[in-house]
Amino acid sequence: MHIMEGFLPVKHAIGWSIASTPFVVYGLHSIKKRIEEKPEQRMLLGVAAAFTFVLSALKLPSVTGSCSHPTGTGLGAILFGPAAMAPIGMVVLLFQAILLAHGGITTLGANIFSMAIVGPFAATAIYRLAAAIKLPFGPSVFLAASCADLLTYITTSAQLAFAFPDPVGGFAASFAKFAGIFAITQLPLALVEGLLTVIVMNALVRFNGRELKEMNVTAATGEVRV
């Protein structure tokens, strides 16, 4: 869902950057506060950032001006909440734009909003809802990660439709076209991302189980393994 450099109209690029900025600023404050209180969580924060970077760099060609790929933000959102993923996502997207020509600088705000804001908030909400209805740990993680991926692609479809409405059907028709093309690659990618996130979470539970319980990541579900 990385929109490529220069693809969005200038007004849209600026607008999405303005919309993303408060989340990034608050996320930086959230991370700083957490690390000051719990410096031992730096390793988990690094794992979340690396997971996001690796997965979101695995791209497949899709809609003109964009691509399909896993997002990797669900893991960090489950561990640290959605606020922390905005600055992490910004750093990941910036490095990918500069080093991999994946995304762009002018479209950075739009890509942050879809992948590092909407996706993580969706993951956190779904994970907490799953905990509230006593869903087991594995399915909770799977749903959170896969839905974060899907909500990211839906947001990108809306961003592109808003920028390039259909001459006849307007926003709705354009959104249907973008979302329909994305779905071909994004639906299976979302399922794969959900499974990979479960595998990584199980590994973290195995080696960092006590720390995850202290972070209230596993306690609410009542389970620590799938």
Closest alpha carbon to 2 in 74, 69, 48: 69
Q: How confident is the model at residue 110 (pLDDT cuts 50, 70, 90)?
A: very high
pLDDT (mean) for 189-193 = 92
Is residue 209 pLDDT above 80, yes or no? no
Give the count of beta carbons closer than 10 Å to the beta carbon of residue 177: 17
pLDDT at 64: 55
Task: Please count the residues of the chain.
Answer: 226
Tokens standing for residue 86: 């905005």
In angstroms, the CA 21 to CA 16 distance is 9
Q: How confident is the model at residue 105 (pLDDT cuts 50, 70, 90)?
A: very high
Closest alpha carbon to 130 in 198, 205, 72: 198
- For the whole model, what pTM was predicted? 0.89
Kindly state the helix (H) or strand (E) to which residue 68 belongs, with its residue range: strand 67-68
Question: Which domains are present in the chain?
Answer: 10-214 (1.10.1760.20)
In angstroms, the CA 165 to CA 180 distance is 15
Interval 111-164: pLDDT, tens: 999 999 999 999 999 999 998 998 999 999 999 999 999 999 999 999 999 999
C-alpha angle 50-52-53 in degrees, rounded to nearest 5: 65
DSSP helix, strand, coil percent of the chain (3-state; round to 5)? 75, 0, 25
